Each structure stands twice: as structure tokens, then as C-alpha cells.
Chain A
Amino acid sequence: DIVMTQTPLSLSVTPGQPASISCRSSQSLLHSDGKTYLYWYLQKPGQSPQLLIYEVSSRFSGVPDRFSGSGSGTDFTLKISRVEAEDVGVYYCMQALHLPRTFGQGTKVEIK
């Protein structure tokens, strides 16, 4: 199984400041079709997870442009350019290259 490792596991951010979360996979997530199957989700308190970023860097419908994803191969980053109060929750990366789908441990983001 592909192991996904996130750092840090928690983050306390002042509103308006940037935040960055890293995710590393145990093997490359580049498919022979040329796409890289790395995804980011946010689980707000008391809610179901919601898709933020698909295929490393594409924002899903309705996701604010302060969220951006980057990376390649095995190393990926989610950045929030200016954190807002509504961004609190747990962020997960997930690989969809192979089954079983596997998630990172989650990064809890809170506001200072």
C-alpha cells in the first residue's frame, strides 16, 4: 500500500497569514496517463470531508483561490495564502493512483 505522510500534524495560524502543509508519498503518484493522482480534503469541525484540490493543483468547484496545491512525484504541498477563520479543520492528502486509497494522518489547522 502507498503510505502518505503529512507534516506538520498541527498548525496554529494568525488570520491573514499564510499556511503550508506538506504531504509525501512512499512512491510516485504519476500515472502513465500523465496525471498525478494526489488530492487534498478539508474536514471542518463536525462535517464530512470536502474536496479542495484534485490532481495536485486544480481547485475543485467553489474552492477559494487562496488555496493552492503544488508538487510532483512524491512530494506535495497545500498552501493557504491568507488563512481565514472558516479554514479551521483537519486537512488530509490522499492518493488515488492505486487501490487501496490511502490518506495522510491529517493536519489540524487552528486560528491563533
Chain B
Amino acid sequence: QVQLVQSGAEVKKPGASVKVSCKASGYTFTGYFMHWVRQAPTQGLEWMGRINPNGGGTTYAQKFQGRVTMTSDTSISTAYMELRGLRFDDTAVYYCARDVIDIVAASLPQYALDMWGQGTLVTVSP
């Protein structure tokens, strides 16, 4: 079955970096974009960016430009999201989610974020 399994919870100090992994299984990794979405405590969903594992092309939300890097390793079907210069308000659950928009033909179903990882809690604490 299709699964996205993320790395475990992290506690970081302000100014540090965190790298979250997302291992995909059950589908062709290079056939989908991988998006990253975060959710601060008791808050809504915030889109961070996406990567196309087929070639590595990325698009980031302007808010995170310069602080985030998304990469992928197709040999192990794993996507990564690194966030640098952590601040207290980066405390959140970070999710990966796969997506076919801009990959499949428009005549096919445009499934957006149809499978999500379990989430990784990143806590920024002094």
C-alpha cells in the first residue's frame, strides 16, 4: 500500500537547522511531486514548497525562500526538507504529501496532496 513515513520528532535550539525525511513506498516515487506543509500548534495548514523527484526541480513559498531546501534521493525513494535559522515560531508539525498536478495530463484526475506522511514535530526551544 502507498505509504509516506517521516522521521521522528526533533528538538532544536534557535538558529539551528533541522532536516526531516519522508520515505515513500507503494508507488513510483518519481511519478509525483512531493510537497511539504506545516502546522503550528492549534493553527491551520501552511504550504512550504514542493520538489519534483524526477529532476529535483523545486518551488518554495516566498516566506521560506533562503531558509528551506528540499531534496530527494530517488535510489531510496526519500524526500527531505531542511529548514535553517530556526526560530521559536517554526515550532510545528511538518508533513510531506504527494501530488500529481503538473505531472499528469489534464484529462486525468488531478489528485492534490492525496497521501500524507504522519507528520514530524519540530520543537524550537532554548
* Contact A41 B109, beta carbon cutoff 8 Å: no
| Chain A interface extent, by class | 20 to 34
- Given the complex, which residues of B lie within 8 Å of A34, measured CB to CB? 106
- A67 in the interface (beta carbon within 8 A): no
Does B112 lie within 8 Å of A51, measured CB to CB?
yes
Residue among A60, A94, A96 facing the most chain B CB atoms (10 A cut-off): A96
Per the bound structure, the CA–CA distance linking A102 and B111 in Å amounts to 16
How far is A18 from B98 in the complex, measured between Cα atoms in Å? 31
Complex contact A51–B47 (CB within 8 A): no
How far in angstroms is the closest Cβ of chain A from B3?
Answer: 12
Binding stretch for chain A, among B23-31, B69-77, B82-90, B116-124: B116-124
Helix, strand, loop or mixed for chain A's interface?
loop
Indicate which residue in B62, B97, B110, B118 contacts A37 across the interface (CB closer than 8 Å). B110
- The reply to whether the CB of B68 lies closer than 8 angstroms to some CB of chain A is no
Given A101-B35, A103-B44, A106-B44, does the pair A49, B110 have CB atoms closer than 8 Å?
no
A→B interface (CB under 8 Å): 31, 33-35, 37, 39, 41, 43, 48-51, 54-55, 58, 60, 90, 92, 94, 96, 99-106
Given contacts A35-B106, A49-B97, 19 further A-B pairs with CB under 8 A are A34-B106, A39-B113, A43-B45, A48-B119, A51-B111, A51-B112, A51-B114, A54-B110, A55-B110, A92-B45, A96-B99, A96-B112, A99-B50, A100-B62, A101-B37, A101-B113, A103-B44, A105-B44, A106-B44
